[in-house]
Amino acid sequence: MAKNVFGENLIPCSMMPLTGFFRTGCCETDEEDRGMHTVCAVMSDTFLRFSKGRGNDLSTPRPEYGFPGLQAGDKWCLCASRWMEAYQWGCAPLVYLEATDEATLDIIPLELLVSHALKTV
């Protein structure tokens, strides 16, 4: 079973909308997931605008892919590198640590995640 940043069992991030690279609701990863979709984040309008400006429009529905489009308050498994980029630009979304895969720590120091942490999913 996948582990979170605390080395505990990874808990689901979101079932509605269904998230995760494997669309299991969890931010788990493996070698197929080149984007490392491991950060369970709560979308904000600021982050959604930032992501769209970077070429990844997460707010527009794409029914042909079963993607409902995200809005502020939705939980979603973000790529660790995108979260880090947003952090550097001052617009990183809040994260649920218990639902964030431990592989994230290869890119983002735990201290940064903790500084943007919410308590529970």
pLDDT exceeds 80 at position 121: no
pLDDT (mean) for 18-31:
96
Nearest Cα neighbor of 104 from 48, 37, 30 is: 37
pLDDT at 19: 95
For the chain, helix, strand, coil in percent to 5 are: 30, 20, 50
pLDDT (mean) for 52-79:
94
pLDDT (mean) for 38-52:
97
pLDDT at 100: 98
For the domain spanning 1-121, the CATH number is 3.30.56.110
The rounded distance, in Å, linking the Cα atoms of 33 and 50 is 22
pLDDT in tens, 94-119: 999 999 999 999 999 999 999 999 96
pLDDT (mean) for 7-35:
95
Please tell me the pTM assigned to this model. Answer: 0.94
Nearest Cα neighbor of 10 from 110, 102, 88 is: 102
Q: Which residue has the higher pLDDT, 121 or 34?
A: 34
Six token digits for residue 33: 């997931």
Q: Where are the domains of the chain?
A: 1-121
User: Which are the contacts of 64, defined by CB distance < 8 A and separation ≥ 6?
Assistant: none
pLDDT at 120: 57
Six token digits for residue 35: 């984007």
The H-or-E segment that residue 117 falls in is strand 117-118
Q: ∠ CA 31-34-37 to the nearest 5 degrees? A: 100
